[in-house]
Structure 1
Amino acid sequence: MKNRLPVENAGDADVCLFIEPYGEDFWMRPADAFQVVPMSDANVQFSVVIATGLITVWLYEDGDPYNAILDYEVVDANGERLTCGHQRPADS
């Protein structure tokens, strides 16, 4: 099984899950649970930065910040693949 990064919004407000280096956004409503799944079979490590209302994730091969993993998908709790802008608020 591939490395996966589970991410859950346990708060009471929407949170943006932001995946770099492409800057793709996936919005999580309260109680949403997503997974970031690299498409690579490499040894993938995740870098996560959290700010109010924002979770930024980088995927790296072998933890090397100069070797970013570019192919990934974000799936919901049912395993459904999400697209960039998922649940994006109209005012963002």
Structure 2
Amino acid sequence: MPKIRLHNDNEQILAVWVEPIGEDFWMRPKEQFTISTDATADADPDEAPFEVVLHAKGVSVFQSTGHEAVVRDQSGTEVACGHQRPLEVLRAWTESAEAAVQRTAGSSPTVREMTREHAEFMRRELTRAEATMQAQERRSSP
């Protein structure tokens, strides 16, 4: 099973995009992720299993030998898409998803429904994240 280990030696959070799906994972300073993929039987043994691209929005890791990537934190725990996504990013993406609903008024019913469902999902995620943040703030208050 091919693996690649990423370290965030920066002082700020780092977005890691796992392609081709575009799942986002967020690494805090000094954290480490390991990304693994299942190698297919027909994979070219001379081809690198991953390609890493640094860009203004973070790091993209393209898997070239497998179908599905698994991301684990430094403890070995599998993490899900959106892991440690900053609240301000989630707010911006939710606003964008809700604005997209308005722009699909003339689209097909399928497109309108998919867009509406995505916006509702993003709103639920934002509400959950804000509640978690408020609970953490209450626990840390004297």
**What's the secondary structure of 1:35's corresponding residue?**
strand
TM-score (norm 2): 0.55
Q: Work out the number of aligned pairs and report it.
A: 84
Percentage of pairs with the same residue: 31
**Once the 2 structures are TM-superposed, how far is the Cα of residue 40 of structure 1 from its aligned partner?**
2.8
**Cα RMSD over matched residues?**
1.5
After superposing on structure 2, the runs of 4+ consecutive aligned residues of structure 1 that deviate more than 2 Å are 39-44
In the alignment, structure 1 residue 85 sits paired with structure 2 residue 89:
no
Asked whether the equivalents of residues 15 and 59 of structure 2 are also in contact (C-alpha less than 8 Å), the reply is yes
Larger proportion of helix: 2
Where in structure 2 are there 5+ consecutive unaligned residues?
90-142
Where in structure 1 are there 5+ consecutive unaligned residues?
62-68
Alignment map for 1:1-92 (pairs within 5 Å): 2-40=1-39, 42=43, 43=45, 45-61=49-65, 69-92=66-89
Which residue type is aligned with residue 21 of structure 2? Y
| CA deviations over 1:39-66 (Å, ceiling 9, x no partner) | 23654611110024501010112xxxxx
Asked whether the equivalents of residues 33 and 76 of structure 1 are also in contact (C-alpha less than 8 Å), the reply is yes
